[in-house]
Structure 1
Amino acid sequence: MEKIEFTINGEFIELLGLLKVTGVAQTGGHAKLIVEDEEVFRNGELETRKRAKLVAGDIIEVGDEIRIVLK
């Protein structure tokens, strides 16, 4: 599993934005598809809210391939 550490600038980052900025999704449309296909887990729980506000300490997993740790 690929591990990515990402530092948030500000209080939070929205899920779609995180997927785009880390390169997990190539476009906003691709990011939406990843979420709609129920491939994203936040702290072990399925995350279906495209605009979910992620904060430092959250762990995002995309399928079995990518883990993003937010700082």
Structure 2
Amino acid sequence: MSDLDLALRGDYIELDKLLKATGLADSGGQARALITAGEVTVDGQVELRKTAKMRAGQVVRLAGHTVRVVAPQ
């Protein structure tokens, strides 16, 4: 299990890109498959939209890993 903070570079990052950028998925295809399978939650709710916009303050969880999306520095 691990906790990560991901600082945005803009207003948002799409969910599939977040999984790839944090290393929770090896590829965009794997990220989309994980999302489609219902294995990813956002703020405690299963998220099935592959390109859902993740904004600062949201929390993404997958397989015991937690990613907190934080505002750009």
State the TM bucket, normalised to the shorter chain: over 0.9
CA distance in 2, matches of 1:11, 1:5: 15
Which consecutive segments of 4 or more residues in structure 1 shift more than 6 A?
none
Q: What secondary structure sits across from 1:56 in the alignment?
A: coil
- In the superposition, the TM-score normalised over structure 2's length comes to 0.92
Q: CA-atom RMSD, angstroms? A: 0.7
- In the superposition, the TM-score normalised over structure 1's length comes to 0.94
Paired residue for 2:58? 58
Paired residue for 1:70? 69
Q: Deviations over 1:31-51 (max 9, x none)?
A: 011101101100001100000
User: In the alignment, is residue 10 of structure 1 matched against residue 24 of structure 2?
Assistant: no
- Count of paired positions: 70
User: In the alignment, is residue 40 of structure 1 matched against residue 67 of structure 2?
Assistant: no
Q: Deviations over 1:5-56 (max 9, x none)?
A: 1101110000010001100000111001110110110000110000000000
Percent identity, aligned pairs only, is 34
Unaligned runs of 5+ in 2: none
